[in-house]
Each structure stands twice: as structure tokens, then as C-alpha cells.
């Protein structure tokens, strides 16, 4: 693991402001959208990191379900993923982990969510790939509390599609374009959501703040 460099005061202040926006959004509506949550150079570095990993063949087809029930279903979910490992984090990823730590502390301090860890992966959608409407929790496991999506795409346009569609209730939806630097957070158990197909490759770093397992057995990752 590579330690994150000490953040400049202006960056730390921006992170505190973003954390406050997220806490307020989750408390008020259950979701929050923060544009330019990371500096463009940080997003570019993460984008290049993910492309390098993909070129080395480290991305695999995502699946649905877990354990013996896990299956690849491109008719439901069409992305390819590469899991993050904090103990082997590249320098480009260190700032993400530090930001997530600060956000976790803010969530626990203000909303008493009791989250203690983060699991996540890069997610790469080819043109035309999508993820059908779903929730980020399993029927027998409520460890995932807050879902997070950080977009890594460059100069995204509405005509290219690829929005994250949050179903917020009463037949209403909120669409968020996957513009690089945008960070979306929402309560995992509360919202169904989907990823719409795009006309170009769509890249994100996505994951979940988790509470401790209620059962003694380890929970297999959802791939």
C-alpha cells in the first residue's frame, strides 16, 4: 500500500465541504450529487490507471448474485470490473482512499450510520452495455449502507447517454450523466437504480460503505 501524500489545505477544505453536502443530501433526500468532487488531474490519473489495468487483462465480466448463485448475465448487467485492494493501492488511488476515509468519518459522526469499511471496483461499460434496474443489497445481507459512484470519463455529453438513473419514488427519476469528477452517493437499501446504455465506453469507480456483518460467516463479493 502506498501512503497518500499530505493534502494541501485547500484540497482538505474542499473535501470537508463535499462531505457536508453529501451528509446533508443523504439526510434530506437519501442521495447527493457532487460535481467536481476530485481535481481533473486526479480523475485523469485514475482513468489512465484503469485503462492500464484493462490492457493487462485484469478486468473481468461482472455478475449478479453471490456465492454459488453468482452468474454472468449480460442481459442484466454488461460491465467489466476490477476490484480495488487498499493494501495494494497505486499512488493514483491513494487520494481516493483518503477521501473515502474522511467521508466515512463524516457519515458516522453526523448520521450515525455505523459504516466501518469500503469495498469497490472500477466498472467499464462498452458502448451499448447497461445495468438493469436493481438495488445494491442482497436479500439476506444488509451490510451495504451507502452506494458511491465516482465517474472517470472525459468530456461527457448528454447525447452520448450512459446516465445513472435513480428511481426516487412516486414514479420520479433522477438522471446523472457520468461526467468525470462527479461523485454520486445514495442509500443502498432505499433506491432502485439502473445504468443506461451509452454510445461510447463508460468508466467509473464504484463501491459501498459497509457496516459490520451481522452473521459470523464472510459474505462473498458481488461481482
Does the residue 1 lie in any domain? Answer: no
pLDDT at 3: 45
Q: Is residue 220 part of a domain?
A: no
CATH number of the domain that 153 lies in? 2.60.120.620
Q: How confident is the model at residue 178 (pLDDT cuts 50, 70, 90)?
A: very high
Residue 5 or residue 179, greater confidence: 179
Asked, for residue 183, whether it belongs to a domain, the answer is yes
Q: Does residue 134 fall inside a structural domain?
A: yes
d(CA 106, CA 177) in angstroms, rounded, equals 26
The band of 220, judged by pLDDT with boundaries at 50, 70 and 90, is very low
- For the segment 14-71, what is each residue's pLDDT rounded down to a tens digit? 677 899 999 999 999 999 999 999 999 999 999 999 999 999 999 999 998 777 778 8
Q: Identify whether 182 is part of a domain.
A: yes
Judge residue 10's burial from the number of C-beta atoms within 10 Å of its C-beta, 0-12 exposed, 13-18 middle, 19 or more buried. Answer: exposed
Residue 88 is part of which domain span?
Answer: 9-210
142-176 pLDDT, tens digit each = 899 999 999 999 999 999 999 999 999 999 999 99
Query: pLDDT (tens digit, 9 = 90+) per residue, 75-113?
Result: 999 999 999 999 999 999 999 999 999 999 999 999 999
**221 within domain boundaries:** no
Q: Please report, rounded to a whole number, the percentage of residues in the chain having pLDDT higher than 90.
A: 79
Among 215, 191, 222, 176, CA closest to 65: 222
Q: How far apart are CA 115 and CA 210, in angstroms?
A: 5
Crossing angle (nearest 10°) for helices 91-111 and 9-28: 50
DSSP string, 158-173: GGGB--EEEEEETTEE
**DSSP code at position 220:** P
pTM of the complete model: 0.89
Domain count, the chain: 1
Whether 194 is in a domain gets the answer yes
Please indicate, yes or no, if residue 138 is contained in any of the structural domains.
Answer: yes
Amino acid at each position: 500500500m502506498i501512503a497518500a501524500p499530505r493534502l494541501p489545505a485547500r484540497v482538505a477544505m474542499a473535501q470537508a465541504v463535499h462531505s457536508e453536502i453529501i451528509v446533508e443530501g443523504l439526510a434530506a433526500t437519501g442521495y447527493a450529487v457532487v460535481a467536481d468532487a476530485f481535481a481533473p488531474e486526479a480523475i485523469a490519473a485514475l482513468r489512465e490507471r484503469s485503462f492500464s489495468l484493462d490492457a493487462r487483462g485484469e478486468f473481468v465480466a461482472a455478475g449478479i448474485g453471490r456465492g454459488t448463485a453468482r452468474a454472468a448475465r449480460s442481459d442484466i448487467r454488461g460491465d467489466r470490473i476490477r476490484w480495488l485492494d487498499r493494501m495494494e493501492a497505486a499512488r493514483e488511488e491513494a487520494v481516493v482512499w483518503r477521501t473515502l476515509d474522511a467521508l466515512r468519518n463524516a457519515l458516522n459522526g453526523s448520521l450515525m450510520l455505523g459504516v466501518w469499511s469500503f469495498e469497490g471496483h472500477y466498472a467499464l461499460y462498452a458502448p451499448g452495455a447497461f445495468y438493469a434496474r436493481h438495488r445494491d443489497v442482497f436479500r439476506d445481507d444488509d451490510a451495504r449502507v451507502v452506494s458511491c459512484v465516482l465517474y472517470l470519463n472525459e468530456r461527457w455529453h448528454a447525447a452520448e447517454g450512459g446516465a445513472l438513473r435513480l428511481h426516487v419514488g412516486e414514479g420520479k427519476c433522477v438522471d446523472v450523466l457520468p461526467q468525470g469528477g462527479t461523485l454520486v452517493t445514495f442509500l443502498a437499501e432505499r433506491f432502485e437504480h439502473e445504468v443506461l446504455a451509452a454510445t461510447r465506453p463508460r468508466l467509473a469507480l464504484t463501491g459501498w460503505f459497509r457496516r459490520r456483518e451481522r452473521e459470523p460467516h464472510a459474505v462473498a463479493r458481488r461481482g
